A and B are shown apart, each in its own frame.
Chain A
């Protein structure tokens, strides 16, 4: 079984550039989460989608961040323009909402470095 697939695994860019991170959900899952992890703040929820609809985006830092689900199996997280403080590991996770365990399946993450 393929798990949650994220790309790119590593991204190095310069301040001001646009960054797009991609996530493919596990087939059949209908909830999608984007998290960000830094040493200072740990794992933070950025946005949560259910059935392709954004339910909670209160964790999105500012307008430079946007996330979409163009279809049920794919999501993007875009940062434009990027800043050095955006450097972090970005994880997406999927789940089958209302499943007994509500287990979240995480991807391996995208490590972003903004110079």
Chain B
């Protein structure tokens, strides 16, 4: 299984941008990069995903390195509600295991008022 490496924890000041890194040096050509987050006492929720190009949505931006061996989730202005554990996950596009979301330990983001 392709694996991801994330820092255990990060801190950010409220209303500042946050860059959450993820290394995935063994990524295969058909692996999508997915990000989920888990707020305290809640289930995980989808944030964003991408394959090769940078992606933006209402929640965040995803910057993917040209060699795809790393990516960065960008929260443009952190709010207290963004305090959560953020998971970077590789998911095969198709074939066996394409339904799988294998969660690692993620990065615990703390937002300081």
Contacts and interface: CB of A to CB of B under 8 A. Distances in A.
A50 interface: yes
B44 A50 contact: no
Nearest to B99: A48
A45 B101 contact: yes
B99 A103 contact: no
Interface stretch (B7-15, B23-31, B74-82, B102-110): B102-110
Interface in A77-113: 91, 93, 97, 101-109
Nearest to A49: B99
Binding site secondary structure of chain B = loop
Contact of B42 (A102, A105, A108): A108
Q: Size class of A's contact patch?
A: 20 to 34
A107 B49 contact: no
A50 B100 CA distance: 12
A104 B57 CA distance: 17
Nearest to B45: A106
Contact of A55 (B42, B46, B99): B99
A96 to B, nearest CB: 12
Given A55-B99, A97-B99, A104-B101, A43 B44 contact: yes
Contacts, number: 49
Interface string B45-75: 1100100000000000000000000000000
B91 A45 contact: no
A50 B99 contact: yes
A31 interface: yes
B43 interface: yes
A109 B43 contact: yes
Given A101-B49, A104-B46, A104-B101, 18 more contacts: A4-B43, A33-B99, A42-B103, A44-B103, A48-B99, A48-B100, A93-B43, A93-B44, A103-B46, A103-B49, A104-B36, A104-B44, A105-B45, A105-B46, A107-B43, A108-B43, A109-B41, A109-B43
